[in-house]
Chains A and B, each alone.
Chain A
Amino acid sequence: METVDLSATLSTAKEWKEKLQAAGIDLSSCYQCGKCTAGCPMASAMDYSPRQTVRLLQLGMADTALRSRTIWLCASCETCATRCPRDVDVAKMMDILRIEADRAGVAAVPSVPIFHKTFLESVENHGRVYEMELMMKFNMRTRKLFNNADLGPKMMQKGKLHFLAPKVDDGGAVRKIFARVRERRDG
């Protein structure tokens, strides 16, 4: 059995308690009832259940949570946040973990953050999603060239996928939003 020295993780526990507090999530409210896990549609595929992920953070084992597959398999369905009797927003906690794990470069399922990055590039460049470009870039970046290859033509046949990028008359507003957000984040 793995042993964990909990005095050593105390400062990490405190750091995450404060970080989540700032986002309106009170980790110490969680009494480990497991209702979040019971309703989670992805729990059986996760390495740590939603309840266990909260516990990891309570105990200061943030590194384990950040390197988990759990955070990338979470479908953001909000069932946990809806049903928690202690009002712990587990879905939002998953968001925060994803953002941190991605920035730290420790994502256990890299294809998911690659998808999000590619999606947002498309929004930044066009103002809206350009699905054709998104699919092609994503498949290239994840080297799954023939992933879902039959879907593209199928959708095109039904007029659901377009060759041309969407045209958005926003006066460059969306690019500027990305620029200002980046400025604020990087400092």
Chain B
Amino acid sequence: MKIAYYPGCSLDTTGIEFRLSTAYCASKLNLDLWELPGWNCCGASSAHSKDHLLSLALPARNLALAEKEGLDMAVPCAACYSRFKTVEAEVRQDEKVQQQVAHAIDMDYKATNNTRSLLEVFAGGVGLEQIESSVTKPLTGLKVACYYGCYLVRPPKLGHFDRAEDPQSMDNIISSLGGTPVDWPHKTECCGAGMITLSPNDGLPLSYEILRVAEICGAECLVTACPMCLMNLDLHQETINKKLKANFNLPVFYFTELMALAMGASPKEIGLNRHFVNPMPLVEKIGRRETA
């Protein structure tokens, strides 16, 4: 299966593990990810707070490049994904918008192709069966809180692949890897997004809540598909512990990292050493459970 691939800015910096583990899984699952040459930033949450047309044009240029090749586009980062889905919907709905966007990017873009979140590509395209049959080191006994956050599922009118409340796709992947997704109520709560840095007193309690509830529900770790969520829950976990007098020690993974581990990747080749909350004690524990 061949699909255009838009990694997004985070996957070269804060989300480098996401890039490494995605590449590993793609090669194991015969998924041909064709990285768009010269891709640009989607504008993130800044463009839509500044100028509506700019927030459409920046993602549209990338989609137009994929459309020219007749390809759908896979997007790992949940935040980028939501920007692409927004443009796609607006261009399909309104011819005037389509023309404005085409003029701004100086390219045709008719939204005949689809943006697909990498989670959807693996859970729905490649399929759970193939994932299950590629597992060599099952995540036996690992209790995982699948954290979807905001952008994979909201707002539903954009036509997402999973439901807006209580989504399932990541839970299904974890089950296919032999792990145990925990039942918990905070799958789609907001982590505080940019407010964690822009207004920490208001933002930090949101990530705190997610960690707290995951822990009470018995999770040993969280998984996500969003570099922003991961940064808030992983990099800022120490700050949360300090400022909100907590004592969390919950590793946070990209779902592709757990897939890669179960398919036999070494922790280092997929960047597990780059986490801030050290996941290695837990990873070693999975190994021991498996041999026990």
Contacts and interface: CB of A to CB of B under 8 A. Distances in A.
A109 interface: yes
Contacts, number: 164
Contacts of A129: 9, 13, 41, 44
B40 A174 contact: yes
A148 to B, nearest CB: 6
Size class of the B contact interface (CB-based, 8 Å): 35 or more
Contact of B40 (A112, A123, A148): A123
| Range for the number of chain A residues in contact with chain B | 35 or more
Given A41-B189, A78-B154, A128-B9, A181 B104 contact: yes
A115 B198 CA distance: 8
A117 to B, nearest CB: 7
A81 B104 contact: no
B164 A112 contact: no
Interface in A101-160: 102, 109, 111-113, 115-117, 119-120, 123, 127-129, 131, 148, 151, 154-155, 158-160
Interface stretch (A4-12, A58-66, A165-173): A165-173
Given A154-B276, A158-B276, A184 B53 contact: yes
Interface in B189-244: 189-190, 192-195, 197-199, 201-203, 206, 235
Interface stretch (A26-34, A49-57, A69-77): A69-77
A169 B37 contact: yes
A76 B40 contact: no
B52 interface: yes
Among B39, B51, B82, B206, residue most surrounded by chain A Cβ atoms (within 10 Å): B51
Given A112-B198, A120-B47, 8 more contacts: A75-B193, A76-B45, A76-B150, A115-B194, A160-B274, A169-B38, A173-B106, A181-B57
Interface of B: 9, 12-14, 16, 37-41, 43-54, 57-58, 61, 82, 100, 103-106, 150-151, 154-156, 164, 189-190, 192-195, 197-199, 201-203, 206, 235, 273-276
